[in-house]
Amino acid sequence: MKLVTFSTGTTSRVGVANAGVVCDASELLPSGAGLLEVIEGWDELGPALRERTVALPTLPLDSVELLAPIPTPRRNIFCVGKNYREHVAEFGRSGYDTPGRCKQLPAKPILFSKATTSVTGPTAAIAPHRGVTSELDYEGELCVIIGRGGRGITREHAYKHVWGYTIVNDVTARDLQRDHKQWLLGKSLDTHCPLGPYAVTADEITDVTALQIETTVNDERRQFAPVKDLIFDIPELIVTLSAGITLLPGDLIATGTPAGVGIGFDPPKFLTSGDLVEVSITGLGRLSNRIA
Ligand code: MG
């Protein structure tokens, strides 16, 4: 199932996207429930949605505005740095990495987070934040949505805790990332986390490692890689995070970006106003965001 959070102009609602239409799921859900609550109550709500989608009122997909599937996550988005080999190499060459660490492959996952307030919709404008940053960059990534929470999750059980998947653009202010050493600030500016367009349930994805990530800027392909190239795979990330942190339903994990980001080029190709950045992943749809 492809779930969406959509707006008709006045309210935001949860729906099921289906061949060009959105089925409005409001009547099946507790009043005011967003996708976060749907994921929390999935054991009951999932089967109801599955059985009764066909009977729901529909709206043409192009008549509604799709919002981020989880417009306000419960807490920061977990993110993974340097999780594709070729990206580690380009980051090292770029001069933006910490000297001394720049040529090594990480021995353990590098984890940081993005503020919840950075989340924006799949077609929303990305704010350039002039005066705050002058080095705006993109990072197309697969985003894992946690279903059942837990701590001390084992590798063997990790996929049982995955509710589904979406796409994230881990937009980065490279100058802030470099100058402030810790990445939170450079990763968290308002609108710098386009998310969506769909929250796709895990049962729709036969083999997540076979999915291909593609990022284009003004139709020029910049990133293209399979999820199987991850250095630390999805189970490893879940094991690492949940070892001492209780994962919660609806938690988001941005799994890392492949090679081809703006600072991977010489000279770097930063984003400027008017640029259209699109990230697509097999079966998960496309983010399409313009720099304001
Ligand atoms: Mg990233």
**pLDDT tens for residues 111-148?**
999 999 999 999 999 999 999 999 999 999 999 999 99
Same domain, 235 and 143: yes
| Burial (CB count <10 Å: 0-12, 13-18, 19+), residue 191 | buried
Any domain includes 212: yes
d(CA 112, CA 181): 12
193-201 and 162-169 beta bridge pairing: antiparallel
Same domain, 196 and 259: yes
248 backbone φψ class: left, alpha, beta (φ>0; ψ -120 to 50): beta
Instruction: Report the separation in Å between the CA atom of 251 and the middle of ligand 1, taken as the mean of its atom positions.
Output: 16
pLDDT computed for residue 102 by the predictor: 67
pLDDT 10s digits, 139-153: 999 999 999 999 999
Through-space distance between the first and last CA atoms of the chain, rounded to whole angstroms: 32
> What residues of the chain score a pLDDT lower than 50?
none
Any domain includes 100: yes
Q: Where are the beta strands (DSSP E) in the chain?
A: 2-7, 12-18, 21-24, 58-60, 65-67, 77-81, 110-114, 119-120, 136-137, 140-146, 162-169, 172-173, 193-201, 212-217, 220-226, 252-254, 276-281, 285-290
Instruction: Report the separation in Å between the CA atom of 60 and the middle of ligand 1, taken as the mean of its atom positions.
Output: 33
Same domain, 243 and 143: yes
Same domain, 51 and 118: no
Nearest one of 74, 108, 110, 83 to 246, comparing CA atoms: 74
Last residue of one domain, picked from the residues 47, 67, 87: 67
Number of domains in the chain: 2
Instruction: Report the separation in Å between the CA atom of 175 and the middle of ligand 1, taken as the mean of its atom positions.
Output: 15
Contacts of 97 (CB under 8 A, 6+ apart): 91
Any domain includes 169: yes
d(CA 152, CA 144): 18
CA distances, 243 to each of 43, 128, 138, 152, 238 (Å): 25, 37, 30, 5, 8
Same domain, 83 and 61: no
Same domain, 106 and 181: yes
Contacts of 10 (CB under 8 A, 6+ apart): none
Write the CATH number for 152: 3.90.850.10
Domain of residue 23: give its range: 2-67
Same domain, 124 and 48: no
Any domain includes 72: no
d(CA 68, CA 94): 31
Nearest one of 16, 145, 149, 142 to 70, comparing CA atoms: 145
Instruction: Report the separation in Å between the CA atom of 211 and the middle of ligand 1, taken as the mean of its atom positions.
Output: 17
Instruction: Report the separation in Å between the CA atom of 187 and the middle of ligand 1, taken as the mean of its atom positions.
Output: 8
Last residue of one domain, picked from the residues 67, 87, 107: 67
Instruction: Report the separation in Å between the CA atom of 139 and the middle of ligand 1, taken as the mean of its atom positions.
Output: 5
Same domain, 53 and 88: no
Q: Which residues, chain by chain, have CB under 5 Å from ion ligand 1? A: 139, 170, 257
Instruction: Report the separation in Å between the CA atom of 51 and the middle of ligand 1, taken as the mean of its atom positions.
Output: 37
pLDDT computed for residue 11 by the predictor: 87
Structure tokens at 6: 């959509």
Other Cβ atoms within 10 Å of 111 Cβ, number: 16
Nearest one of 104, 95, 22, 102 to 64, comparing CA atoms: 22
Same domain, 30 and 105: no
pLDDT computed for residue 12 by the predictor: 93
Instruction: Report the separation in Å between the CA atom of 278 and the middle of ligand 1, taken as the mean of its atom positions.
Output: 15
Same domain, 171 and 33: no
Same domain, 237 and 157: yes
Any domain includes 258: yes
